[in-house]
A and B are shown apart, each in its own frame.
Chain A
Amino acid sequence: MSSEGRLEIPTPDGESQSNRKKTFVTFYFEGEAVSGALGEPVAMSLWAAGHRTLGWNEETGRPRSLFCGIGHCFECRMEIDGKRDQRSCLYPVREGLDVRRQSKPGALAIVDGMTRL
């Protein structure tokens, strides 16, 4: 498996540091098939496949993506297999995962209660 989004960092003694014995599987991002290494975090597969916007900030609607890479910042939160707010930098790829960006919440409706009935 080779991909433009992948790289090799050789150790000084010539062994590959990162790309060893990977099994690639298919999962779904917004319904579109994406290839990822089994067990690597979802965000890594998406990044390698060129998908950078992993969600939108709820307040501004602006794109956000992986930031800290190890589960502290929650910027890469996505809906994975129906579960909200999953950190895609931690969540391991498995065959057939359903990965989606979280919808932006709508503005809070301002209804005057005195006129509701």
Chain B
Amino acid sequence: MRTEALIIGAGPAGLSAAIELGQRGIETLVVDEYPVPGGRLLGQMYQSQSGWWIGRRVAEDLLERLGRFPNVHLMLETSVSGLAHAGGGWTATFSQRAGTVDAQAVLIATGATEVPIPLPNWTLPGVMTVGAAQTMANVHGVRPGERGIIIGFGALAFAVADELTRAGVDLAGIVLPPLQGPSQWLGTVQDQWRRLRDVVHLGPRWARAATPLVASDFWLERVMAGAPQKGIPALGTVLRPNVAAIAMAGEEAVSGVWLQRVDRRGTLVGEPWHEAVDFACLSGGLRPVPDLAAATGAAMKSSRSGLHDVPIFGPVGETTAPGIFAAGNVLGIEGAPVAMAQGQLASIGVLRHLSGNPTEWAAEQAAFSRALEVARERAPLVFDRAWSQIHEEIRQAWTNRPKEG
């Protein structure tokens, strides 16, 4: 099979790019592993400054627009297992079926993955990432369990706590992850507490009122360490900022969690105690999945932790590999509206690659770039403050990249 553009990933970035290519008459194939298109949009539901963001409706809208273009095809349940440079383009192979797709340009929109929080017995059935719980509950209407706990202060923790409690699932609260041994890479307790600053505006009004108070590390530490052990009511559950999950309990599946108090310096204090839960959600945060970009030979910005591995990319999603473009969370974790604008920008890159004209569609590029900036300014969540600095470094790396010829 041949196509002009192959888009890998049917999430917000991939679908947005497909719409732009579709309306400009480009033969486009969008593939995704999941049986339902929409990517992580499908589970999203949170309140932003401009009202409720209901990802499923955004996805439905994108798909409805995409459906108007007979030149755009969607192939689900399809994992790309190979991507080889061939005849000036790229040949993709897949895990689920024999046969290949030859594409002149490839857009990698493979999104992100969750980072783990290892703790004793975390391989027991019932311990899952917070994203898995969100997919289970929001996308498929499946109850993760009777009583759960959320471990880690990643941005998704609060959205999922809200969703689960509104669905009547009991939660033992949102607690700290362990921060020693194999979890030491998560940073210090202060790092965890600082993450709360990025989500405090999503909380109840009184929490928003507390924003100025926790703006200084001095007060943040004291407020968090001094919180009552039973927690601070938030989002239908409780935030327990001075309690850490130190181990899961259970034989064949999760039956409980061991908790222990943490002091201002992150040291475990007092005796651990057991609380009965039958599921646990680990909220460690997100990192890009840049494997395919790396495999094409595109220049990468590698990070020691692997949390910030991204292809070096240009203004319209170009990578240094010919005909390989990238958009969305694979370029950094910034949320769906940013991913959608990046998808639109990358469509310009793809169009220019196909036509060989590097200056066309300048007005559209300018409009999409503005949309990207607006999306960044309005982003309801900051997933990881490192990204703005990394993106600045990538802009420089792109400008200074060795050019061919």
Contact = CB atoms under 8 A, between A and B. Distances in A.
Interface stretch (A25-33, A41-49, A103-111): A41-49
B54 interface: yes
Contact of A68 (B113, B143, B164, B168): B113
Given A90-B34, A90-B77, A11 B54 contact: yes
A7 B141 contact: yes
Contacts of B47: 12
What does DSSP make chain A's interface, helix, strand, loop or mixed?
A: loop
Contact of B143 (A48, A54, A72, A89): A48
B113 A72 contact: yes
B289 A72 contact: yes
A63 B140 CA distance: 24
Interface in A3-32: 4-13, 16-19, 22
Contact of A7 (B123, B127, B137): B137
B143 A70 contact: no
**Interface extent on A, as a size class?**
35 or more
Given A52-B253, A53-B125, A62-B123, A9 B143 contact: no
B163 interface: yes
B96 to A, nearest CB: 9
A65 interface: yes
Contact of B138 (A12, A17, A63): A17
B79 interface: yes
B129 interface: yes
- Ordered nearest first, which 5 A-B pairs have the shortest CB separation? A69-B132, A65-B125, A18-B141, A92-B35, A52-B125
Interface of A: 4-13, 16-19, 22, 37, 39-41, 44, 47-48, 52-54, 57, 62-72, 75, 87, 89-92
16 contacts: A4-B143, A6-B143, A10-B166, A11-B54, A17-B45, A17-B54, A44-B142, A47-B136, A52-B125, A53-B125, A65-B126, A68-B114, A69-B135, A70-B131, A90-B33, A90-B34
